[in-house]
Amino acid sequence: MVKKQDYWAQKIAIISRIWPGILILIFLAAGCTPPASRISPTASPESSPTSGLILTPAEDPFLQARLEMVKSTIESRGVNDPNVLRAMRIVPRHLFVPPNQTSLAYEDHPLPIGYGQTISQPYIVAWMTELLDLKEGDKVLEIGTGSGYQAAVLAELGYGEVYSIEIIPELAETASKRLKELGYDNVQTKQGDGYYGWKEHAPYDAIIVTAAPDHLPSPLVAQLTEDGRIVIPIGPVGFFQTLWKFENVNGELEAQNLGGVAFVPLTGAGVESGSSAPTP
């Protein structure tokens, strides 16, 4: 059975997650730039065993801003998986946004990346990653590569292979190139309709969907392992959807409603004509 949240608790959850995005829209409309993140002079650099990135203040002028982002907007809001926090401290988000958005890379809100798509706010990336409950050897499928940032975070965890699908050819090409340049060799990408998953490499221990369909795609459910998990926003095209976590337990899906979120819609022939998987 799906657990329904208390009405007011869900409304508070919605406001807490979309408020940073509302603020940035207000700032942009006024022709202003949001205030920069505070920088902690005592934070220490970390190195990446996955990508080979060596992060020092001299080599990465955004290091301190990234560490402060994790501390003030992710860790403080309840994400506590140490490996997820480590990955968020390492992956250079400023390299996954357009050059004219670099100064905003470590603010906690989505940013446009072209073609009507966005890079998700850092807190949502960290939270959804934690919800996957990944462990050593897990194989992960991402639907919606976008800039490649979420895939890089998943790869940085170092648990296993990451597969990522992007429907927009231009984004698929640039993300693939960017991930390779940054040394994320455990990420495989392709251009295609993510609604249908990536059957050649199935089954997956976890599937993360970073754009919102209006139903749970049945091909993705079919590509889960026996104890696989899907984290996905579901809802109509518009401002709000609901974030769900589905887990395959003894051949049946258990669902958890995690409250309101705002994502770009999942596009393609699959979502327009596909059938919904049965839900609890």
DSSP structure string for 28-66: HHTT--PPPPP--TT----B-TTT--B--TTT-TTHHHH
- Residue 15: per-residue pLDDT: 42
pLDDT band of 52, cuts 50, 70, 90:
low
The whole-number average pLDDT for the span 196-213 is 97
Q: Is the pLDDT of residue 213 over 70?
A: yes
SS3 (DSSP) at 98: coil
Q: Point out the catalytic residue in the list 37, 51, 120, 164.
A: 120
Identify which of 262, 276, 246 has the alpha carbon closest to the alpha carbon of residue 3.
246
CA dihedral for 183, 186, 189, 194, sign (positive or negative): negative
Report the pLDDT value the prediction gives residue 44, as an integer from 0 to 100: 45
pLDDT score at 39: 31
Q: Which residues of 169-198 are buried (b: 16+ CB within 10 A; e: fewer)?
A: eebbebbbebbeebebebbebebbbbbbbb
Q: Using the Cα atoms of residue 87, residue 24, residue 13 and residue 235 in order, give the sign of their dihedral.
A: negative
Q: What pLDDT, in 10s, does the model give residues 250-272? A: 889 999 999 999 999 999 999 98
Per-domain residue ranges of the chain: 13-24+43-273
Q: Where residue 278 falls among pLDDT bands split at 50, 70, 90?
A: low
Calculate the alpha carbon distances from 104 to 70, 96, 277 in Å: 15, 12, 38
Q: What is the pLDDT of residues 30-42, one digit of tens each?
A: 333 333 332 333 3
Can you tell me the mean pLDDT for 85-96? 97
Average pLDDT over residues 146-159: 97
Which tokens belong to 41? 């002079």
The model's pTM is 0.81
218 included as an active-site residue: no
For residue 59, name the pLDDT band (cuts at 50, 70, 90). Answer: confident
Q: Which CATH superfamily is domain 13-24+43-273 in?
A: Vaccinia Virus protein VP39 (3.40.50.150)
Residue 247: the pLDDT is 97
Q: Convert the pLDDT of each residue in 15-32 to its tens digit.
A: 444 444 443 433 333 333
